[in-house]
């Protein structure tokens, strides 16, 4: 189950036909961090753009 896709207000987390996360659509992501907060697996980490 993918938890973060349902909470993204910008639909920036596309799924494939099996319902698995494909990637992030950075053109739509506004950096709100809601996805990272709700992910129980800590699979999403917010980073400032251009910094590692």
What pTM was computed for the model? 0.73
Which CATH number belongs to the domain containing residue 32 in this structure? 3.30.70.20
DSSP 3-52: SGGGT-TT--S-B-TTS-B----TTT-----HHHHH-TT-------TT--
Q: Within 13 Å of residue 19, how many CA atoms lie on the same side as its CB?
A: 5
Q: Which residues constitute the domain of residue 2?
A: 1-52
How many structural domains compose the chain?
1
Say which residue, 51 or 28, is predicted with more confidence: 28
| Residues 7-35: tens digit of each pLDDT | 899 989 888 888 888 888 989 999 999 99
Q: Which residue has the tokens 């494939």?
A: 16
Instruction: With beta carbons less than 8 A apart as the criterion, state whether 23 and 7 touch.
Output: no
């Amino acid at each position: 189950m993918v938890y973060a896709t349902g909470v993204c207000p910008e639909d920036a987390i596309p799924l494939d036909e099996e319902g698995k996360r494909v990637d992030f659509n950075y053109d739509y992501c506004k950096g709100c961090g809601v996805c990272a907060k709700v992910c129980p697996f800590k699979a999403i980490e917010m980073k400032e753009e251009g910094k590692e």
